[in-house]
Amino acid sequence: MNVRFDGQTVIVTGAAHGFGRAISLAFAERGANVWACDVNRSGLAMTEQQALERNLPLNVRVVDVADREMVREFVREAGAGERLDVLVNNAGGVLGQVGRPLEDISEDDWHAIFRVNVDGAFYFSQAAAPLMKARGSGRIVNISSGAGLGVSLTGIQAYASAKAAQIGLTRQLAHELGPFGITVNNVAPGFVRSNPTTERQWGSYGEEGQRRLVEGIALKKLGTPDDIAHAVLFFASEYAGWITGQVLSVDGGK
């Protein structure tokens, strides 16, 4: 299966490291005009540098996905040629929070995780929809988590809840946007060592915890950011033209 995106405009959020970086570079390698954004300026610069080293064109912008007007301005810039083919809502995470008892969670901590994981996906989809509707086609791919289908390995209540909400948003938008030729799907990664947060999480398990985690995976190994990027490429490709509202677990088998 030779997947190409020549001439297509692709937006990827949360592109400063991990999944977002791998997804951005994967699209650029396949001919797409990629617009990558993140609030992490230094990480975004590293993504841009890796693209330059591979001689890949990549447009990067610092964008807070929880800022609706900033999102709208970025989408207007990326779609200035009146074309937006693919939107990948990857931005998310736990924002440095750790698992704590329910009664210790502040209102600000709860809402902060929802803003980046759910509000951001909503704002970007809302801004992208008119461009896709005008062309009668488009692909939206949301990146959730196994936590949205089960429980959070770290016990972070807001993260599990936000990722479940994002899956619900995926299914709802699939039905709303389907008549316009727009598909909306979701990739739910398992545990992948992809950024500083997951490295700290991995280290916190210790040797025995790490062994148990890997043993609980059918393929008996951890995945990579490229494994997640490949699933996104499939959903964004012509091969997934009659697939929408679906959640694909990319976790090595549970």
User: Which residue reads 């190994």 in tokens?
Assistant: 221
The two three-digit tokens of residue 49, written as one number: 């540098």
Residue 82: per-residue pLDDT: 84
In eight-state DSSP terms, residue 39 is S
> Is 115 a residue whose pLDDT tops 80?
yes
Whole-number percent of the chain with pLDDT over 90: 93
198 found inside a domain:
no
208 found inside a domain:
no
Q: Model's pTM, two decimal places?
A: 0.96
Dihedral sign for Cα 167, 28, 43, 125, please: negative
Dihedral sign for Cα 188, 193, 199, 205, please: positive
Residue 31 belongs to a domain with what CATH number? 3.40.50.720
207 found inside a domain:
no
2 found inside a domain:
no
3-state secondary structure of 100: coil
237 found inside a domain:
yes
Q: What are phi and psi of 137, to 5 degrees?
A: -165, 160
The two three-digit tokens of residue 37, written as one number: 């954004």
What tens digit of pLDDT does each residue of 243-252 get?
Answer: 999 999 999 9
The two three-digit tokens of residue 239, written as one number: 């091969």
Residue 153: per-residue pLDDT: 85
Q: Which domain holds residue 155?
A: 9-192+225-241
Q: Determine the longest span between alpha carbons in the chain, in angstroms.
A: 54
200 found inside a domain:
no
Residue 142: per-residue pLDDT: 98
Beta-bridge partner residues of 139:
86, 183
The closest alpha carbon to 30, from 237, 188, 183, 181, belongs to: 237
Mean pLDDT of the chain: 96
244/63 Cα distance (integer angstroms): 27
- The count of structural domains within the chain is 1
201/46 Cα distance (integer angstroms): 23
Catalytic residues: 159
C-alpha separations of 162 from 27, 82, 92, 121 in Å: 27, 31, 9, 11
What tens digit of pLDDT does each residue of 155-210 get?
Answer: 999 999 999 999 999 999 999 999 999 999 999 999 999 988 889 889 999 999 99
Please return the burial class of 26, using the count of CB atoms within 10 Å of its CB with bins 0-12, 13-18 and 19+.
buried
217 found inside a domain:
no
Nearby residues of 190 by Cβ (< 8 Å), 6 or more positions away: 146, 217, 223, 249, 250, 251, 252, 254
252 found inside a domain:
no
In eight-state DSSP terms, residue 146 is G
